[in-house]
Structure 1
Amino acid sequence: MSTATTEGGPLLPQERRLVTEIPGPKSRELFARRQAAVPPGVGTILPVFVERAGGGVLVDVDGNSLIDFASGIAVTSVGNAAPRVVERVREQVGRFTHTCFMVTPYESYVAVCERLNQLTPGDHEKRSILVNSGAEAVENAIKIARHATGRQAVVVFDHAYHGRTLLTMTLTAKNVPYKHRFGPFAPEVYRAPLAYPFRWPTGPERCAEEAAAQTIDMIDKQIGAENVAAVIIEPIAGEGGFIVPARGFLPRIAEFCRENGIVFIADEVQTGFARTGHMFACEDEGIVPDIITTAKAIAGGLPLAAVTGRAELMDSVHPSGLGGTYGGNPLACEAALAVFETIEQEKLVERARHIGEVMLPRLHALKEKYRIVGDVRGRGAMTAIELVVPGTKDPLPAADVAKRCHAEGLVALTAGTYGNVLRFLPPLVIPDHLLEEGLSILEKAIAEHDKTV
């Protein structure tokens, strides 16, 4: 049995351990308090209350130790209490917690921006700004693109998820739960088809070419390329179902943007910082975005996000046109610097590739064995299976399988426009034996559900 350390804390056994039902009595008591204090609009996937976490496990208030295949939705890639993060944040909180970078700046903000400018794809001159969330990063990326180009239209894609604010909710494709009855929405947003190999009408072989052609045709005929400020896309669609666009699609769209003076924005909020086996997912096809948005895994669980882009785009905005009171909080900046160091020192890009090498063969074996598994996809430590009604491609809801996993001590998430995808985002520091055990729990859950369909 391996262990994980937290700075100054005891070892956390890396094991699945169930001592009560899931959720246990203490979690149920706390959940009753939660329901009385927090509105149902803030959802809860698994109502267990966590007391400690680290490595590949979450320990709840009842003493259960659950295998973590969620990472707080791709946030705790370096672990829930990574020693370097804990140490740097602890030191910073003793110095000062806030000044507002726009009032009296501090070095750590600058240092994070310098590292982002170095790490993100492309050797051109770059600038970065720091904000609080992925949605805020996307909003600012669109603001910058519109300001720099003098254009208004924004092109997004089917199955996209970009956030819950007014503009990012407009960019997001799925109605329930993200958009339902929250309109009216922001203007000048246009949606194009995503190259979704599993569901492309003429088959995966023609998917990239046809989807790109349809997108370009839509832009030319419905908008006019000269009116488009930005095209924004996730290199792997996250909430939409971990859809890996057909190879060749993203480079063609990026090329079209270059040819027409359109800002190509890569939304790497979920895919960034080693998750897919590259530092950034767009590197897989050699794509160099004009602007890249990042968040989630950037600061080990502290709220931080960034917009990094070509210097001429970022510098086009007038003084004080960008910013926010909490953006680039010093605690979060110190955490981010620790995350960058941890990824490098612990070789987590390579570790993510290894996780994919462990998970994907077993997931493909499930597809061969069980009728309800229609597709397996993903890269590195960002993988998924899509469930279907046997003998068809009709979506089969994934919630029941997820609940079976939860009951056995595996934290698994659903996703997808049709709610039929199980997605897996283990921490990059999870030990192999927990990966294997989690996959065995998943297979048991799928086998049981397969019999009922």
Structure 2
Amino acid sequence: MAFSLLNTSLPMHADRPGPRAAALVARDQKVFAPCMGRVYPFVMERGSGCDVWDVDGTRYLDFNAGIAVVSAGHTHPRIVRAIQEQAARFIHMAATDFYNEPMVTLGEKLVATMPVEHEWQVFLANSGTEAIEAAIKLARYATGRQGIIAFFGGFHGRSYGALSLTASKPVQRRGYFPLVPGTFHAFYANPYRPPLGVEPSRVAEACLAYIEDTLFRTVAPPRDIAAIVVEPIQGEGGYVVPAPGFLCGLRRLCDQYGILLILDEVQSGVGRTGTMWAFEQECPSDASGACTVCGRAQFIGCIPDILVTAKGLGGGVPIGAIVARKGWTSLWEPGSHGNTFGGNALACVAANEVLDLVRHELAANAARVGTYLMQGLRNLQQRYEVIGDVRGRGLMIGVELVMDRETREPARVLAQRVMDESFRCGLLILTCGASTIRLCPPLVLTEAQVDEGLAIFETALRASL
């Protein structure tokens, strides 16, 4: 695929931030706590699709979508219209105590996205963190067990239960101990950086064996483990796609020991990877449709007990949810969990539009345009030694930068430079993991915008070397 380094639609190395943006950043710093680590001084004024403008009128191409949130693009007319029409009727009535149609419709649509082998029920929250907390509470409540296993490199949120599972960066946990007891961490099957000293071809097998042969036999008796919580693709940990067979291997372990499998699809779900849920692509199947690892029919090996979603579900409006097997939710007695804002009508109508858009067009677009973007990035990888790995599915793509391809030493400073230079050149990207460029644009991305983004990215990469 060819693309030009010359990009006349964006001013290269313009003065950013402009005067209005700089003034607003200064105002912000006076009134907001510094715990939020802003990465560069972008101050948004408006957006449309994958284009955004700052308060000085400078246009940027958005390849981060508010961290994989603005799934249908900025100000999608269907979402805007649905919110406006609902706001004119009513904005909120506590769903903990009462009912509303947008909420019921959303529950029906979420259930319809799940495999038909089981009955499903929904609990609505306001964020991914809150949805993770609900999943933990349900798992403990339904099983009568307390232990939870999560994974190194994982990110599940910042409230105490979710933070206890999170293990991606020390700064996220520093100063908050003791965290929730009964939490254990295992190794994620990262084929680019295999843990436990094994070859990439054996990483899934080794990581599963570590859980069963080490954790279960030393510090985490399986009879006390309520759930295993895992991201089908790690987000903050570096956009890591696990080795084939890892997820269905976890399903096998859970079935064997009576443990619930919780899939955290907060970042990977709602069409981001080219299917509604990332787990739909995880079980490798042969010509007969049987999984080549667990031998069972396609999807059966990977179906979660509880699925957690948020981010892209609301298209920019705060919302989170769990979708869980009815056999577990039926044990949750009235009053055992709830919240004030879950089921908010504005959030629900936005999510209803997002799910329709994803089902009818956006998931397919993510798969098609994601393939095109991946091809362009791999072409760059052939020309730049610092690009160690390009990985992902759909429009959830990581570009890992390294000091050396043999040692794979993370190029932390370079990744920061590339992100900063991309901002100066008009492309909004973020990093994740140690030195991975995270690309998660709105799912309305076009091939022409891919070409534009790749041209800017290469310019920024060259300028950073």
**Cα distance change, pair 15–177 in 1 and its aligned pair in 2 (3 A):** farther
Between the aligned partners of 1:107 and 1:364, the Cα distance in structure 2 is: 46
Q: Is the 8 A contact 1:370 1:447 kept in 2?
A: no
1:265 aligns with 262
The CA distance in 2 between the partners of 1:71 and 1:423, in whole Å, is 11
Task: Give the conservation status (yes or no) of the 8 Å contact 2:168–2:236.
Answer: no
Unaligned runs of 5+ in 1: 1-13
**8 A contact 1:156–1:191 mirrored in 2:** yes
The structure-2 alpha-carbon separation of the partners of 1:50 and 1:329, relative to structure 1 and needing over 3 Å to count, comes to: same
Q: Contact conserved, 1:122 with 1:288, CA < 8 A, in 2? A: no
**Structure 1 residue 431: deviation in Å?**
2.4
Say whether 1:369 aligns with 2:386: no
Asked if structure 1 preserves the Cα contact closer than 8 Å seen for 2:11 and 2:425, the reply is no
Match of 1:126 in 2: 120
* Alignment correspondent of 1:243: 240
Please give the alpha-carbon distance, in whole angstroms, between the structure 2 residues aligned to 1:281 and 1:17.
Answer: 37
For 1:20 and 1:368, how far apart are their aligned partners in 2? 29
1:253 is aligned with what amino acid?
L
Given candidates 401, 426, 438, the residue that maps to 1:387 is 401
- SS of the equivalent of 2:172 reads coil
Superposition deviation, residue 17 in structure 1: 5.4
Helix, strand or coil for the counterpart of 2:122? Answer: strand
How far apart are 1:376 and its partner, in Å?
Answer: 1.1
Q: Tell me the equivalent position of 2:74.
A: 80
Match of residue 418 from structure 2: 401
**Which deviates more, 173-182 or 28-37?**
173-182
The CA deviation at 1:54 is 1.4
Task: Tell me, yes or no, if structure 1 residue 307 matches structure 2 residue 309.
Answer: no
- Give the partner amino acid of 1:368: Q
CA 242–218 in structure 1, closer or farther in 2 if over 3 Å, else same: same
Percent identity between the two aligned chains: 38
Q: Which residue, out of 338, 356, 368, partners 1:341?
A: 356
User: Could you say what the CA RMSD is over the residues aligned between the two structures, in angstroms?
Assistant: 1.5
2:199 is the counterpart of 1:203: yes
The alpha-carbon deviation at position 20 of structure 1 amounts to 4.5
* Counterparts of 2:459 and 2:183, CA distance in 1: 43
Query: How far has the Cα of 1:430 moved from its partner?
Result: 2.0
CA distance in 2, matches of 1:218, 1:324: 38
Q: Specify the alignment match of 1:356 in structure 2.
A: 370
Q: How far is 1:401 from its partner?
A: 0.9
CA distance, structure 2, for counterparts of residue 69 and residue 125 of structure 1: 36
Partner of 1:98: 92
CA shift, 1:152, in A, is: 0.5
What is the match of residue 289 of structure 2? none
Shift of 1:344: 2.9
Q: Secondary structure at the match of 2:192?
A: helix
**CA shift at 1:19, angstroms?**
9.6
* Cα pair 1:370 1:446 within 8 Å, conserved: no
Deviations 1:276-299 (A, max 9, x none): 011000000232111000000111
- Length-normalised TM-score, structure 1: 0.93
Letter matched to residue 208 of structure 1? A
Q: Identify the residue that residue 446 of structure 1 maps to in structure 2.
A: 461
CA distance in 2, matches of 1:353, 1:331: 29
- In structure 1, the residue matched to 2:155 is 161
Query: Match of 1:324?
Result: 339
Look up the match of 1:185. Answer: 179
Contact kept, 8 Å, 1:243 with 1:377, in 2: the verdict is yes
* Structure 1 residues 85-112: Cα deviation after superposition (integer angstroms, max 9, x where no partner): 1111101111111110122211111111
Distance of 1:75 and 1:15 partners within structure 2 = 25
Number of residues of Structure 1 aligned to a counterpart in Structure 2: 434
Residue deviations 1:256-306, cap 9 Å, x none? 101211000000000011000110000002321110000001111111100
Tell me if structure 2 keeps the 8 A contact 1:16–1:57.
Answer: no
> SS of the residue aligned with 1:223?
coil
The structural deviation recorded for 1:373 is 1.2
TM-score, with normalisation over the residues of structure 2? 0.91
1:180, distance to aligned residue in structure 2 (A): 1.5
Counterparts of residues 41-120 of structure 1 (less than 5 Å): 41-120=35-114
Deviations, residues 34-79 of structure 1 (Å, cap 9, x unaligned):
1111121122122121111011111111111100000100101101
CA-CA distance at 1:176 after TM superposition = 3.3
